[in-house]
A and B are shown apart, each in its own frame.
Chain A
Amino acid sequence: MSETYVSKEKLPGIVEQLMGTHRVFGPILKGQYHQFALLEESADLDLAFRNTRLSPKALFHPHSERMFEFTLEKGNPDAGILKEVPKDYRSRIVLGIRPCDAYAFKLDDRNFITDQFKDPWWVQRRESTTLVGLACNDPCSTCFCTSAGSGPFDTSSLDVLLVDLGEGYLLQAVTHKGEQLMGDLAGGESVPEHCTEQAAALKQSAEAQLGIQFNLDPVKQKSMVELFDAPFWEDVQFSCINCGTCTFLCPTCWCFDIQDEVYQSRGERIRIWDSCMFPLFTLHGAGHNPRDQKLKRVRQRFMHKLKYYPDKYADGIACVGCGRCVQHCPVNIDIRQVARLMAESCVCPV
């Protein structure tokens, strides 16, 4: 796959070119933190960010989304018929996404694209999007992608990888889509000598900085029931306040609720993020709640990510190691500690 080099002063020009042909989303500093949003001007793009507070999952799976609209008007022949709300599927680029967050989409695909069911909105957004990732030269202390099947330079879910080499960026095409995007770009330079080696060295040092923070192999061997009944959940759950911070910030928490909102004779069917931390999440219509205690909800979240999902799909855990939940949990519940508890029944780092 091809490589090209863009010096930092030429980046705005390149971004503008892309904005001419695509809708370009990138990290923008809004208020106190960065978030992925549509670029209005190339200058809004801020690639000097650690990571965004919220994961970019909302670009594909928005917090609140109108799916259908309907009328309940008496005598209207369309009354009660759901009509799909039109959506914008023009081609777009997500620029500067971190490799772990892109890898998360691959995990989310398992939910939204199955043999049996394909979520049309997720599928079409995925298809119309080119992911241009930004390698992590300097991961946070809360990052653990290398322990979660991804890595700071993981290209497995990207179309193009950008590596910040100080004076400029090395662009590496990963997929055919990425190759095409790079082929269409004017202003790229041939790769200066040693840049590829420099990128490889940065990758190595970032990976070494992250290390391996837990080893979940023993969890694979343990029986689900044994883990489910493990005494340590009692300790893990105490501090949890059952808010939705971890799940809402998580790039791989895809759960949602669907509701109809009706005003007078018009209505909408909307899809809204939901969270396994909320008691209402599992409340049955008949009144029974199978996860009626905090412990059950806390256990569910970790078991889903670190046991049920790996057991079901045999393709790693349902966590990419972005560390958002570790950074922002108001009571400092740390999934890395829980992973160690599940694997070794102790919290000692490996």
Chain B
Amino acid sequence: MRAYTEKIREAAKRLLSEDRVDVVIGFRKGTVALMNEPFLVKSLDQVDRLYWDGNCGINLANYLPKRPDRVAIVAKGCDSRNIVVHLLENQIKREQLYILGAPCHGMIDRRRILAALDGKEPLQVEEANGTIKLIGRDFEETLERSSCLQDNCAICIHRNPVVYDELLGDLVAEQENVDRYSDVRRVEAMSSEQRWQYFDDLIAPCIRCYACRNACPLCYCPTCFVDESRPQWVGKSIDRTDTRTFHFLRAYHVAGRCTDCGACERACPVGIKVRRFTKKLEKDIKELYGYEVGLSTDERPPLDTYRPGDPEPFFK
């Protein structure tokens, strides 16, 4: 995917010099291995710092809401679906955007690699031919790229951008026969006591830093319910009730809107599998309404519309 770097720079140069856009949102090369930094390009002299490889997992759609200017943005499949959600929710206008579609091969899970290296620290990373070569001070290791993907990327069925103005490369073959919900079914099969315990254990390490929420493109509320202070709805401590309230309510708030981009899990500093909440809701929305979010700007999300025939089996 490194090949996109030149394409992105070329497009940024063209769009800025032709005054098609005011800014370009992409990535610049990170300061540590397996990380890149979201980057806002405002002028031509910054263009050559734009960069792309398999460590661009952060969802750039997060930087769009309420921008007043004309923006070119690099978008993977998931980013593009979140752009669609933003368009539906009036967070930005289509005519403000120039979308550089990045057909994606899945993003690399840095933590998975670091865990596999068991304390050894990669300083240099080379991606080529479906492998990832990790070079440290006194070691060199090559891993299969497919075994290093973020969990959400491994089961992604929308790797190609769904909306774009130009493509940075050929469309990729979408993954087929993917079982997206095996983990959800495991939880569904539990008794309610087991399930309670499962989720309690899942969020036990939470430090309430809100990295999951803040990395999420959907969480753009001017004041999040956990930050309301007059009145305060939720306690601030790591008391289980409060931590639960945060995670449960956040998950419900993104129901039917979450594209499973994985930004929450990627951001969590203590490694909580935040998607265990949102996946169940994604599955329910699909089963109840046959709706997959972010694929079309013509259809509103089922939970912000009402139709007389809507299924209501969850009303009890």
User: Chain A interface residue count: which class?
Assistant: 35 or more
Please state if B271 and A257 are interface contacts (CB–CB under 8 Å): no
Contact residues, A131-190 vs B (CB, 8 A): 140-142
Contact residues, B188-240 vs A (CB, 8 A): 205, 207-211, 213-215, 223, 227, 229, 232, 235-239
Please state if A242 and B214 are interface contacts (CB–CB under 8 Å): yes
Residue in contact with B31 in the complex, picked from A32, A249, A326, CB distance below 8 Å: A326
The prevalent SS among residues of B at the interface is loop
Residue in contact with A331 in the complex, picked from B37, B123, B208, B229, CB distance below 8 Å: B37
Please state if A244 and B237 are interface contacts (CB–CB under 8 Å): no
Please state if A326 and B32 are interface contacts (CB–CB under 8 Å): yes
Chain B: CB-nearest residue to A48: B119
Using a CB–CB cutoff of 8 Å, the interface residues on chain B facing chain A are 30-33, 35-40, 58, 62-63, 111, 115, 119, 121, 123, 205, 207-211, 213-215, 223, 227, 229, 232, 235-239, 266-267, 269-271
Chain B residues, CB < 8 A from A245: 209, 211, 267, 269
The prevalent SS among residues of A at the interface is loop
Chain A: CB-nearest residue to B266: A330
Please state if B32 and A142 are interface contacts (CB–CB under 8 Å): yes
| A–B complex contacts, Cβ < 8 Å, 11 sampled | A31-B205, A63-B207, A64-B237, A238-B40, A238-B63, A241-B267, A247-B209, A261-B237, A330-B267, A331-B215, A332-B31
Please state if B38 and A238 are interface contacts (CB–CB under 8 Å): yes
A275 interfacial contact with B, CB 8 Å: yes
Chain A residues, CB < 8 A from B209: 243-245, 247-248, 275
CA distance A125 to B170 in the complex (A): 61
Residue in contact with B271 in the complex, picked from A32, A235, A249, CB distance below 8 Å: A32
Please state if A243 and B267 are interface contacts (CB–CB under 8 Å): yes
Using a CB–CB cutoff of 8 Å, the interface residues on chain A facing chain B are 31-33, 48-50, 53-54, 63-64, 140-142, 235, 238-239, 241-245, 247-249, 257, 259, 261, 270, 272-273, 275, 278-280, 283, 326-328, 330-334, 336-337
Please state if A64 and B211 are interface contacts (CB–CB under 8 Å): no
CB A54 to nearest CB in B, in angstroms, measures 7
8 more contacts with CB within 8 A, not counting A283-B229, A326-B32, A327-B32, are: A32-B111, A33-B270, A54-B270, A238-B38, A243-B210, A244-B209, A248-B209, A278-B210
CB A272 to nearest CB in B, in angstroms, measures 5
Please state if A63 and B214 are interface contacts (CB–CB under 8 Å): no
CA distance A163 to B184 in the complex (A): 47
